[in-house]
Amino acid sequence: MANLKVTSVTKQFGETPVLKGITLDIADGEFVSLVGPSGCGKSTLLRIIAGLEAPTGGTVAIGDMDVTGMQAADRNLSMVFQSYALYPHLSVAENIAVPLRMREVTGLQRLPVIGGLMPGARGQKQSIATSVARAADRLEIGGLLNRKPGQLSGGQRQRVALGRALVRDPAAFLLDEPLSNLDAKLRVQTRAEIAELHRALNATFIYVTHDQVEAMTMSDRIAVMMGGEILQCAAPEIIYEDPDDIRVAEFIGSPKINILPLERYGSDLSLFGRSLDWHVTQDSPQVMQLGLRPEALHLTQSAPRLRGRVAHFENLGSEVFAQIALEDDAMRVTLRATPAERQMLGLGAEVGLAFDTRSAMAFDADGKRLRKIEAMAGVTSEVA
């Protein structure tokens, strides 16, 4: 168990920069997810932390010790791979025992026949077997110990890979998209199990995923990565409700956040040419973007801020998502409605939308969050 510190790590593959100065502090026992679209550098960052890849610049420290130049094996980290990477020729028990055998048994003792005759070999064998059995029990794979990986289902292989990570009692667990090869149902179940395992072990977890649901449900903190940078690293609810960047707002949340153009005329803000009764100072940027989560929108009959036509809707039973075409199909927004409102959402129906000002987010043209403007607008709208 240890804290982990990544300081201004950069990585270049040839001319291409993959990581552009990543700094990340992970506390002891924390569960941090690295999330982002494919190619954002999250796996590379994990491999640098693991020691499988050398950074071009910057340092990695585990438990306050600089390990940047240290080999993967000496860092005492465990990694679970997307493909599980089990040794196909070894049984489940042997697979789980490998990290212990490599660490605790000398080369001489590992020799086939002579090894058994070396002093202390028997006791070591016993203690390894005990550790393997304990890890297997914890993951409920005790009955599979004599099988080969080829005879296991995807979920079982995944558990064996977890067992191999668990058995060595590592400083931190690194998980590289461990659930992406499982079917949807098993994924939900295993997700909960990994979160529970984290609580039970109270160990440091770094979890790479492109699935925002996994990140949201399991983590203490989420680091959203894009283009080789961490855009924001915070608790899941903050990432969702209070994103720093439009890219974070767009990546997290399903269906996607609605982004609408916002313009300033004098001190007045307007949306599609209609004034919003929001007043800002004259030095605010001319063009801005307004972010609205689907649940921030609601149907209204009186004085709607937006008008449109229902273009498509999806009924999920507990909720309905409707796509509303605004301003003659120039733009579409997604609305999250309750099943009770469904009859108002027939295809082609004209609807009026209002939104909760406090949950609206303003971004500048480059996508940076404009909290100052929101504060100004929020105050004025409350007064109005």
In DSSP terms, 80 is beta-bridged to 175
Give the nearest distance from C-beta 173 to other proteins in angstroms: 11
Q: How many CA atoms lie within 13 A of 103 on its CB side?
A: 18
Q: Does 89 bind other proteins (CB under 8 A)?
A: yes
Give the nearest distance from C-beta 83 to other proteins in angstroms: 5
Of 88, 112, 273, 348, the one binding other proteins (CB under 8 A) is 88
Cα dihedral angle (176, 178, 180, 185), rounded to 10 degrees?
-150
Q: How many residues bind other proteins (CB under 8 A)?
A: 30
Give the nearest distance from C-beta 48 to other proteins in angstroms: 12
Of 59, 82, 380, 381, the one binding other proteins (CB under 8 A) is 82
- The single-letter DSSP state of residue 143 is G
Element (H, E) at 7: strand 4-13
Q: What mask, x for binding other proteins by CB under 8 A, covers residues 22 to 61?
A: -------------------------x--x-x---------
Tokens of 246: 């439009």
* Contact (CB, 8 A) for 306 and 274: no
Residues in the chain: 384
Q: What mask, x for binding other proteins by CB under 8 A, covers residues 152 to 191?
A: x----x------x----------------x----------
* Contact (CB, 8 A) for 25 and 5: yes
Q: Does 72 bind other proteins (CB under 8 A)?
A: yes
Of 69, 112, 119, 150, the one binding other proteins (CB under 8 A) is 150
Give the nearest distance from C-beta 147 to other proteins in angstroms: 10
Q: Does 130 bind other proteins (CB under 8 A)?
A: no
Q: Does 221 bind other proteins (CB under 8 A)?
A: no
Q: Does 87 bind other proteins (CB under 8 A)?
A: yes
Which among 144-152, 240-248, 250-258, 292-300 is the span making contact with other proteins, rule CB under 8 A? 144-152
Give the nearest distance from C-beta 81 to other proteins in angstroms: 4
Tokens of 148: 């080969």
Of 148, 298, 305, 309, the one binding other proteins (CB under 8 A) is 148
Rg (alpha carbons) of the chain, rounded to whole number: 26
- Give the span between the Cα atoms of 49 and 59, in whole angstroms: 9
- Give the span between the Cα atoms of 286 and 8, in whole angstroms: 34
Give the nearest distance from C-beta 86 to other proteins in angstroms: 5
- Give the span between the Cα atoms of 130 and 110, in whole angstroms: 18
Q: Which of 170, 219, 196, 234 lies closest to 25, judged by CA?
A: 234
Of 103, 312, 332, 368, the one binding other proteins (CB under 8 A) is 103
Pairing of the two strands 229-234 and 4-13: unpaired
Give the nearest distance from C-beta 216 to other proteins in angstroms: 26
User: What residues numbered 341-380 form the site for other proteins, per CB under 8 A?
Assistant: none
DSSP 203-243: -EEEEEES-HHHHHHH-SEEEEEETTEEEEEE-HHHHHHS-
Which among 24-32, 81-89, 225-233, 345-353 is the span making contact with other proteins, rule CB under 8 A? 81-89
- Give the span between the Cα atoms of 354 and 374, in whole angstroms: 17
Binding site for other proteins (CB under 8 A): 47, 50, 52, 71-73, 77-79, 81-90, 98-99, 102-103, 148-150, 152, 157, 164, 181
